[in-house]
Amino acid sequence: MPPKVSVGRQIGAASINIDSYRPLVGDDLIDELAALARGLKGVRICHLNSTSFGGGVAELLSRYLPLLQALGLSADWRIIHGSPAFFSVTKAFHNALQGAQCDLTEEDRSIYLQVNEQSAKLIGRDYDVYIVHDPQPAAIRHYIGANREKWIWRCHIDSSSPAPNVSQFLKPFIERYDALVFTMAEFLLPGLQIKRVAFIPPAIDPLATKNMELPIDLCKRAMADSGIDLARPLLVQVSRFDPWKDPMGVIRAYRLVKEALPGIQLALIGGMAGDDPEGWNLLEQIEEESARDPDLFIFTNLGGVGSMEVNVFQRGCDLIIQKSIREGFGLVVSEALWKEKPVIAGRAGGIPMQFPEEYHRYLIDTVEECADRVLDLLNRPGERGNFGRTGREHVRRHFLLPRLLRDDLRLIKELL
Ligand code: UDP
């Protein structure tokens, strides 16, 4: 496959108005953001990753870039392309940074470096600041060599206990950056020699189709059209079909709940990311489970289910589950809480920080705990309502898009 760098998919900046966020996040934040943007006028920013669809980073960038542009900044999104072999190597890197073992062969190194070297020649040098996401394009900075631009590596992965061989291999490339950004201090890759590190959690866009307000009767009607019985409770998990998201664990928890509550239904909503070749086997297993259980629904298409459907199911269900074993941030948790939906989720990565303090008992470590909390919450509508409302306020204060832009622009300002 010839090397290629393409432009990311994003909505038009014209459809975004920064003032629409004022009632949601307050004037102070928007005023600070606008002032930062004025100070950075003329600075050209390039975000670089390896997929335009599937997964949180692509989701984030498709909304983030237009908002930057609406603030009057010059910002582009570039995507590096690679062969299936490249993405197998980078998925192994992703898993290894999360702690899985990885047999790193000479061939793997060479596949990875070749794509990075070729992409470095293609990305263009029309920018002042490059923000490179995750390990896939991380070595590009190395192949650029000496330059005047500022380079930031934005790691979305919990890389606190990485496989030593992959960590050793990637470190020299990462140490070439001017600054690193991790979601939280606990995620920091150990042993790095670097001058500047920032901790910035991601965020959701409350005005995106995925999160905008929808009438509940519309959601219910759409769910009924998909085969859901509205008279019985429904659990939902929205996730890529990835072992770390533990869809099989969700199915086991649902089966335990069914012993006590035979009417329970479960919908697994998800797809495969463009840079994740691992999902197919798992999807096959899940489809087998669903084939013998009329109350177990799988909604998928190649790149994942569309934003509107995700919104509909997050709003229309009774409870959201996110049974991750390892997690970067887990945007779906904020998406659900923003919709005032209670969430039962794995105590992993960035998930606990999205939970209001007083609802940490709904963070779980096992299938049994998951089933127990589901039954508990289904029996207590008052608790569900309070959890949802407190969750929305917590997300409003900490995890909405303008806060993320402000944190990033502050860092860029410091660097320049
Ligand atoms: N998503 C989607 N359709 C799907 C599955 C997921 O739109 O079928 C979205 C989901 O709503 C969220 C993102 O993809 O916005 C996943 O981000 P998250 O941080 O939860 O997980 P990641 O995939 O990045 O590990």
DSSP letter string over 201-232? ---B-TTSTTTS---HHHHHHHHHHTT--TTS
Q: Check whether 277 has a pLDDT greater than 70.
A: no
| Greatest extent of the chain over all pairs of C-alpha atoms, in Å | 64
pLDDT of 10: 66
- Lowest mean pLDDT of 192-196, 360-364, 366-370, name the range: 192-196
Which residue has the least CA distance to atom 24 on ligand 1?
56
Is 310's C-beta closer than 6 angstroms to any atom of ligand 1? yes
Average pLDDT over residues 88-107: 94
Minimum-distance ligand 1 atom for the alpha carbon of 322: 20
3-state helix, strand, coil in the chain (%, to 5): 50, 15, 35
Residue with tokens 């596949």: 111
Report the CATH architecture of 216-398.
Answer: 3-Layer(aba) Sandwich (3.40)
4-202+401-415 placed in CATH 3.40.50.2000: yes
Is 235's C-beta closer than 6 angstroms to any atom of ligand 1? no
**d(C-alpha 374, C-alpha 370), whole Å:** 6
Minimum-distance ligand 1 atom for the alpha carbon of 328: 25
Is 59's C-beta closer than 6 angstroms to any atom of ligand 1? yes
Among 59, 49, 53, which residue's Cα sits nearest to residue 82? 49
Whether 4-202+401-415 shares its CATH topology with 216-398 is answered yes
Average pLDDT over residues 128-141: 97
Domain boundaries along the sequence of the chain: 4-202+401-415, 216-398
Question: Distance from the CA of 42 to the center of ligand 1, in angstroms?
Answer: 33
Amino acid, single-letter form, for residue 341? K
Question: Distance from the CA of 55 to the center of ligand 1, in angstroms?
Answer: 5
Q: Check whether 3 has a pLDDT greater than 70.
A: no
Q: Check whether 70 has a pLDDT greater than 70.
A: yes
Cα-based distances in Å from 242 to 102, 186, 249, 281: 17, 23, 12, 10
Could you tell me the pLDDT band of residue 282, with boundaries at 50, 70 and 90?
A: confident
Average pLDDT over residues 80-85: 92
